[in-house]
Structure 1
């Protein structure tokens, strides 16, 4: 059933002559001339060339804003005055007057329509000159506006007392207004410890009072508040989920809403240099919780209740669904684990974790109908089925846009999503491609003028590039695929994913120094689940407040597609060839950008030859999957007969001891999950009888989730000194989640699995117990409590020292096991080859081969030159991961103690 408006709209062509909407007959010549295309069917998208007039002003404003944010005031003023004068000169009546064309002045009145008259006759050169002057003036005016806006925003970083107080590291009492949701920083390994998490809050300082003179000054300066998470940790329930309120009913730092006003005591410190959008950093003493002096606005309170309702509706779901659904719907990623975030980054699915134009497009498609039908009068969306006119539908879409911005927070990323989604609104409502590029240019121009900091945002750049690719490249690629027999729906999906990846890949390289080979298939597979997960998630959001049980049912239904997306990300990231390293920075981006136009014509030619296409697809699959037999035949890795591999995990330790086909004992896990997981996958290890964690420093246990991922593990053995305590809790929590026993390794313990055996030679069963003739000194820290192992395999003896330091090394040299340690074949050098070594132990060991695990260009100076020299003086060959990657130790051909090595 068509509405009257739809019926009237469907019976017009671009010449104003009536024609049936579904007619397949050839269009009139006037339509062909107006469209500039050879297509013969009457079609709403049959239009003239793309209108690019707004593109130069938008690009000029973008570039100007990026440059002028930190420009001196004199340069900004000169730029504004100069561009305004030039624009005024171009717009003077004399310069605007167009000269007559070759055919003389055109009479006023409408042009006749008919065969041979597609529209007005071409204007003369005078008219073209006038248009060029107007276009130039528009560019200059946009440059002036962008320079002025950028200067005003940049001035916020310099004016007022806050920047000066920050340079003095002053203690202040400040009244601040929150401008974004609080968030937790991601934990990361920093040497032996994990850098503690903190609550990060963007805010504006409205009043500041110094402790020195007590004077209170009104101001407005953007700052980044940092609250120590240990003193600001939210109260948790038994299931580990965060609660919005802390002790005595006070809101926790993480439960605060934007527009809330706080009074805080803090120290001001300078913000990092180089384009930072904050005037200072406010380090808050947050032990007593936030002191609220102004409640959030009513829209923010409503948005906060809706977001909290969605979190409550997802509480009972699996970990992945509980983390992803709030991110898919409203951009709430507070529950996304670092490991899951890394998987999404490896597969270029990060855009699904943040609010983007895709979220808004899905909602608009539900309202207006699927994109494939939006170009026709029968749109089949909810609005059409309810009999709403196009004008009413447009108003409803505008209201939906406003609600989307309020619920998802009006910060720059959400505004960018709403603007890019508005481009999709225009596409769905009109089905006209010609108007989409001007709409995108308008969105870019308005957003950059509203918030010039977007001009320096990589997220904004990626959004614009992806949207532009979907509007320009994707339709052409989709048409080409359909001409070659690809089904229409699959052709659209392939073209959209391929176009976005081709355009955005050079920018992604700048950030990650890596090109994903699984991005297109992963995005294609995730696309099928994204729409149902988003729609069901929004329905759960809408029903959470009035009917939480209904919202829980909807969230449970949405959890299935959400888990599918998470499974795609994890599977894609786990593939050995998921990505290839690429030079970083803008040089690497330029190289990839130059190669892409060369590769695209080759791809077009390949499409004409199905056999070549199949061969290339098979080659790509083999490159990504990297079957172990094929990989070993081509690369020689892993080498046959390997007995021990020191993985390249950066600044940390991770070793694998061969214990049979597909089986290995893992000693330490490195600082991050991804490197050790890749190492184990390259070795084909799927069964791990035991994981030995020599001590609890982060660079040895932080990668434990990567060891456990997708493998059968028998148990975990650790040292008895559970320090640092937070890392020991981390290990025990992972073990409990995986139902793994945790045992304590002590000196004298002997174990065997297959033809691999080992003896624990350190630490002793109890601190202070006598070893040999002398008591063992108290451990000075976790390093001296490291588990040390003497390993026997294939006739070789390997000594793994963990991070033992000289006191423990000297005690080990006096222990009963010392007689068995002389003349070992391989020594895993303690503490990444630091200078803190006992020369007596090195002399007693006299290893043939010394292995050092260290990160490239690490800030600790590991390994120390003195340690390397001492090992070589003792007759050892020294190999290190920071200069050659992973190292494999191989036994002799006959198992008689021969020693060989291989590098990856």
Structure 2
């Protein structure tokens, strides 16, 4: 018997005819969204001109002419559609009144179009714990007579949160509001409406929305008994409810580029549809898998069931950008399935993106939508090629497919992420690979919990227990990945940084080609690359110090760079692996990174000057993986929310919490001692508020007679600073940690009495408070002090003594 090999049928080239119209629609829509109402006649005229030009080109028979005509028609539709879609932002009384010098208070009737979203009153501000809500709505009527259709954002203050928290989309309400101008944050709305009290319901929400709300509430109730991480993550993964997601876990997911798992995404819909249709490669054949194949459903019935499932998914999980993209792509594929046409993923994606942009132009400026499209494009184009290359080199089937898909999605999304945060996650691909196996079980068990809860709460709780296993794994991957010293790499921001990363990715892919071909060098190159990445991610302290020079030898004090917040470190002995930490900043990852870079493994005492988020939210990062003796706190238990979080974190780590005592003196080793100067007991009534209850201290580093004195004033404001000055005679110091991030509120006489030679200011770049104040900086310089600030210099180390004092900065700017 002779076997005759048959050449495989060549793969059909990808159909890219819809790519140009889709790109044109996206670009035109994004551009038109940035134009005001005064450009409307010009834009409509341009759309008409594009239509005429396209009609002329259609007379040609060349395929290129038809493609150009289709692209011009798509651009015309985008121009006209976006112009008309945004017209409501500029007409009616609301936009004009919001732009007036004194926006009035009004009574409006509105229809809620989105779920209430919890927020805080300030971004890491000085008055945390003030919960807020924002929700999207459309104003239907102003007063008793004026009808309108104006999109707005309703802002609800802390005292009214309870009355608005359970509002369901499609509900019609009457509310008293005060108009606020629409900022860049609310650019898709005509104005922000600050609610003045609770709303009055005019019409109940639709039945579908009521059912969706009950299902979402049931999922929350069924997960109430879970541990903190699964309880917060599972509702987010299943239905996009992130109200209980711990802030530090959310940051960990972002640091590892697993942020798409903290909220429902298009991947969830793909998993649900895969249960019905089977794998995409078999869904359109008679041998398809899934429930449809198992039950023998006809193609059209399968398509109708899939469409109904998609609509239900969007209703329950809310029309987030990624969900809309996945739903539209799925519906296009289901239409192809119902008509018996072969499904082509890339044309389906282009069709979905084009239709969605015409339907909702604001998606053109949505980063969530952009990331969803880029990731899907990578999975459809580069993913199969890279997976095949890995399989050809002996990788197991599943691992090759997962690694190729993850790397492809990361390659296309990474440059866009630079526009949001100027950093690269070096652990994104391994963390996504480790999370891959748990996503589908967590999603399906979560949806099973959602569906079963209306029938049986105990059964739903059992399913939630099962879902907590893969969900807990996802949380553990994110936390451990984010905790690695080199998890993130700083990168230039903006368009330049995005373009630079895109070019670097292309260069890396291109340079790998000759290495793949040269089998002799492949093992060596792979080994060197693996070792380099391991060293970059693990960053052993001795190697990092050798490579970067940070921290400098024999450092005596370090002010960490924790963005808009405070964190200082006083070493105990030399070499310093033990230190006293004063405040922990707003970010656990930044706090942990600072101590890792300094090589600190033991912290006998953490001093938290006061209970504000920008001073205490980083506490979990200090506690993680270190021996901590105690946490010392101020005597004012305000704000209560942050105090409760500090106590909970400390209790979980089994670390005692100690109150500050006036004039307390402590020492840690022969070279470090300190005295608490503030607060008094009882608190001074002339200096109210949490800032004025900050722990202030003077630390003495070194041994007499050549000691270094450092004053740390927390966030004390002028009343407390003046009271402190009147209570005792402050000694002159060499180093001053300037109070309240260098704000304008300083007691000049106290600053003069301290007379520092080096003034350090901890603040974040472009922070919303204008810190530090130019007047404060000028005042310090007039006293002869050198002023350094973390927003320009990064972390700052003080070395030497009173006679040899100088500072070393981690950043480029001195």
Q: TM-score, normalised by structure 2?
A: 0.89
Match of 1:173 in 2: 107
When residues 814 and 180 of structure 1 are mapped into structure 2, their CA distance, relative to the original with a 3 A threshold, is closer
Match of 1:6 in 2: none
When residues 62 and 835 of structure 1 are mapped into structure 2, their CA distance, relative to the original with a 3 A threshold, is closer
When residues 505 and 750 of structure 1 are mapped into structure 2, their CA distance, relative to the original with a 3 A threshold, is same
When residues 432 and 585 of structure 1 are mapped into structure 2, their CA distance, relative to the original with a 3 A threshold, is farther
- Mapped to 1, the partners of 2:744 and 2:71 lie a distance apart of 62
Instruction: Using the TM superposition, give the Cα deviation of residue 758 of structure 1 relative to its aligned residue in structure 2, in angstroms.
Output: 2.8
Tell me if structure 2 keeps the 8 A contact 1:697–1:724: yes
Q: Alignment partner for residue 19 of structure 2, among 39, 55, 64?
A: 55
Matched, 1:230 2:159: yes
Matched, 1:185 2:119: yes
Match of 2:301 in 1: 392
Match of 1:665 in 2: 580
Q: Alignment partner for residue 694 of structure 2, among 767, 780, 786?
A: 786
**3-state SS of paired residue (2:666):** strand
Larger mean CA deviation between 76-85 and 487-496 belongs to 76-85
Match of 1:606 in 2: 515
Matched, 1:160 2:75: no
Q: Alignment partner for residue 628 of structure 1, among 537, 541, 557?
A: 541
Matched, 1:326 2:260: no
Tell me if structure 1 keeps the 8 A contact 2:578–2:602: yes
Match of 1:253 in 2: 164
Q: Alignment partner for residue 276 of structure 1, among 167, 179, 187?
A: 187
Tell me if structure 1 keeps the 8 A contact 2:134–2:154: yes
- Mapped to 2, the partners of 1:141 and 1:62 lie a distance apart of 13
- Mapped to 2, the partners of 1:739 and 1:53 lie a distance apart of 62
Q: Alignment partner for residue 43 of structure 2, among 76, 81, 100?
A: 76
When residues 291 and 75 of structure 1 are mapped into structure 2, their CA distance, relative to the original with a 3 A threshold, is same
Q: Alignment partner for residue 361 of structure 1, among 248, 261, 270?
A: 270
Instruction: Using the TM superposition, give the Cα deviation of residue 400 of structure 1 relative to its aligned residue in structure 2, in angstroms.
Output: 1.8
Q: Show the 5 A alignment for 1:714-733.
A: 714-724=629-639, 726-733=641-648
Larger mean CA deviation between 409-418 and 262-271 belongs to 409-418
Tell me if structure 2 keeps the 8 A contact 1:188–1:195: no
Q: Alignment partner for residue 620 of structure 2, among 705, 717, 735?
A: 705
Tell me if structure 2 keeps the 8 A contact 1:180–1:411: no
Instruction: Using the TM superposition, give the Cα deviation of residue 269 of structure 1 relative to its aligned residue in structure 2, in angstroms.
Output: 2.5
Stretches of structure 2 lacking an aligned partner (at least 5 in a row): none
Matched, 1:686 2:597: no
Match of 2:344 in 1: 435
- Mapped to 2, the partners of 1:295 and 1:639 lie a distance apart of 65
Instruction: Using the TM superposition, give the Cα deviation of residue 438 of structure 1 relative to its aligned residue in structure 2, in angstroms.
Output: 1.4
Q: Show the 5 A alignment for 1:5-24.
A: none
- Mapped to 2, the partners of 1:550 and 1:73 lie a distance apart of 57
Instruction: Using the TM superposition, give the Cα deviation of residue 191 of structure 1 relative to its aligned residue in structure 2, in angstroms.
Output: 4.8
Matched, 1:446 2:355: yes
Instruction: Using the TM superposition, give the Cα deviation of residue 900 of structure 1 relative to its aligned residue in structure 2, in angstroms.
Output: 5.8
- Mapped to 1, the partners of 2:160 and 2:759 lie a distance apart of 44
**3-state SS of paired residue (2:242):** coil
Q: Alignment partner for residue 64 of structure 1, among 10, 20, 28?
A: 28
Match of 1:17 in 2: none
Match of 1:236 in 2: none
- Mapped to 2, the partners of 1:257 and 1:800 lie a distance apart of 52
**3-state SS of paired residue (1:511):** coil
Q: Show the 5 A alignment for 1:167-566.
A: 167-168=99-100, 169-186=103-120, 188-189=122-123, 191-194=125-128, 196-209=130-143, 215-233=144-162, 252-272=163-183, 276-286=187-197, 289-370=198-279, 378-410=287-319, 412-422=321-331, 435-566=344-475
Larger mean CA deviation between 703-712 and 675-684 belongs to 703-712
Matched, 1:639 2:552: yes
Tell me if structure 1 keeps the 8 A contact 2:278–2:289: yes
- Mapped to 1, the partners of 2:342 and 2:413 lie a distance apart of 21
When residues 870 and 462 of structure 1 are mapped into structure 2, their CA distance, relative to the original with a 3 A threshold, is closer
- Mapped to 2, the partners of 1:135 and 1:835 lie a distance apart of 61
When residues 319 and 139 of structure 1 are mapped into structure 2, their CA distance, relative to the original with a 3 A threshold, is same
Match of 1:133 in 2: 65
Superimposed CA distance per residue, residues 742-761 of structure 1 (whole angstroms, 9 cap, x where no aligned partner): 32222332333344543434
When residues 849 and 222 of structure 1 are mapped into structure 2, their CA distance, relative to the original with a 3 A threshold, is closer
Tell me if structure 2 keeps the 8 A contact 1:51–1:434: no
Tell me if structure 2 keeps the 8 A contact 1:364–1:425: no
Matched, 1:654 2:567: yes
Stretches of structure 1 lacking an aligned partner (at least 5 in a row): 1-23, 28-39, 97-128, 210-214, 234-251, 769-775
- Mapped to 1, the partners of 2:343 and 2:47 lie a distance apart of 32
- Mapped to 1, the partners of 2:631 and 2:797 lie a distance apart of 23
When residues 837 and 187 of structure 1 are mapped into structure 2, their CA distance, relative to the original with a 3 A threshold, is closer
- Mapped to 1, the partners of 2:717 and 2:48 lie a distance apart of 67
Instruction: Using the TM superposition, give the Cα deviation of residue 777 of structure 1 relative to its aligned residue in structure 2, in angstroms.
Output: 8.2
**3-state SS of paired residue (1:633):** helix
Superimposed CA distance per residue, residues 201-236 of structure 1 (whole angstroms, 9 cap, x where no aligned partner): 101111110xxxxx4222211111111123223xxx
When residues 636 and 425 of structure 1 are mapped into structure 2, their CA distance, relative to the original with a 3 A threshold, is farther
- Mapped to 1, the partners of 2:138 and 2:726 lie a distance apart of 62
When residues 502 and 432 of structure 1 are mapped into structure 2, their CA distance, relative to the original with a 3 A threshold, is farther
Larger mean CA deviation between 153-162 and 410-419 belongs to 410-419
When residues 285 and 842 of structure 1 are mapped into structure 2, their CA distance, relative to the original with a 3 A threshold, is closer
Tell me if structure 1 keeps the 8 A contact 2:333–2:343: no
Superimposed CA distance per residue, residues 576-607 of structure 1 (whole angstroms, 9 cap, x where no aligned partner): 21122222222222222223222211123334
Tell me if structure 2 keeps the 8 A contact 1:412–1:451: no
Q: Show the 5 A alignment for 1:677-826.
A: 677-724=592-639, 726-755=641-670, 757-763=672-678, 765-767=680-682, 778-779=686-687, 781-795=689-703, 796-802=707-713, 803-804=715-716, 808-809=720-721, 812=724, 818=729, 822=731, 824-826=733-735
Match of 1:107 in 2: none
- Mapped to 2, the partners of 1:875 and 1:299 lie a distance apart of 69
Instruction: Using the TM superposition, give the Cα deviation of residue 270 of structure 1 relative to its aligned residue in structure 2, in angstroms.
Output: 2.5
- Mapped to 2, the partners of 1:163 and 1:869 lie a distance apart of 42
Instruction: Using the TM superposition, give the Cα deviation of residue 161 of structure 1 relative to its aligned residue in structure 2, in angstroms.
Output: 2.4
**3-state SS of paired residue (2:477):** helix
When residues 863 and 199 of structure 1 are mapped into structure 2, their CA distance, relative to the original with a 3 A threshold, is closer
- Mapped to 2, the partners of 1:900 and 1:791 lie a distance apart of 17
Tell me if structure 2 keeps the 8 A contact 1:177–1:206: yes
> How many residues matched?
793
When residues 541 and 183 of structure 1 are mapped into structure 2, their CA distance, relative to the original with a 3 A threshold, is same
Tell me if structure 1 keeps the 8 A contact 2:121–2:130: yes
Instruction: Using the TM superposition, give the Cα deviation of residue 507 of structure 1 relative to its aligned residue in structure 2, in angstroms.
Output: 1.0
When residues 862 and 431 of structure 1 are mapped into structure 2, their CA distance, relative to the original with a 3 A threshold, is same
- Mapped to 1, the partners of 2:341 and 2:489 lie a distance apart of 39
- Mapped to 2, the partners of 1:366 and 1:443 lie a distance apart of 22
Tell me if structure 1 keeps the 8 A contact 2:300–2:339: no
Match of 1:145 in 2: 77
Aligned-residue Cα RMSD (Å) equals: 3.2
Instruction: Using the TM superposition, give the Cα deviation of residue 620 of structure 1 relative to its aligned residue in structure 2, in angstroms.
Output: 0.9
Q: TM-score, normalised by structure 1?
A: 0.81
